[in-house]
Amino acid sequence: MVRIVRLYSGDDGESHFEDLDIPIEGGISSAFPVDTLDFREAPEEHEPDWHNASRRQFVITTSGALEVEIAGGERRRLGVGEVMLAEDLTGHGHVSRTVESPRRSIVVPLAPHVDLAALLDRLRAAGADGSD
């Protein structure tokens, strides 16, 4: 399994974290329909104000480290090789800080037609039954 951090908007208008396990079967996961692929490099002291994800997207850290803070002060640090599914499109949002430079990432937006609720239900069910 590959663990990813999901960042999403809750019914309370706040951003929340959820750990999701992506099952690997036969050496590969199920396909995720995606749109494009961008490479990003954040400035050394990158700390924008509170904001929302611009679209539903995977953010894969390739160098450096990122700290994401949500309301209530909960923080997650994401280093090299770690993956976040950012989809807090509404509400209060989050703060992203560069905590180790240079911070580079690959950003892979989900295709607009993806039924994310159904996809997440499948991932949760696979994680619950312990499939690898």
Q: Which pLDDT does position 117 carry in this prediction?
A: 81
Cβ atoms 8, 30 nearer than 8 A = no
Distances (CA, A) of 114 to 19, 60, 90: 20, 19, 18
Distance, in Å, from the CA atom of 5 to the CA atom of 8, rounded to the nearest integer, reads: 10
Q: Which range has the worst mean pLDDT, 70-74, 111-115, 125-129?
A: 125-129
Residue 130: pLDDT over 60:
no
Q: Which range has the worst mean pLDDT, 14-18, 20-24, 89-93, 113-117?
A: 113-117
Residue 48: pLDDT over 90:
no
Number of domains within the chain: 1
**At 39, which CATH number?**
2.60.120.10
Q: Which pLDDT does position 46 carry in this prediction?
A: 66
DSSP 83-114: EEEEE--SSS-BEEEEEEEEEEEEEEEBPTT-
Name the maximum alpha-carbon separation found in the chain.
42
> Count of CB atoms within 10 A of residue 110's CB?
18
| Domain of residue 37, residue span | 2-128
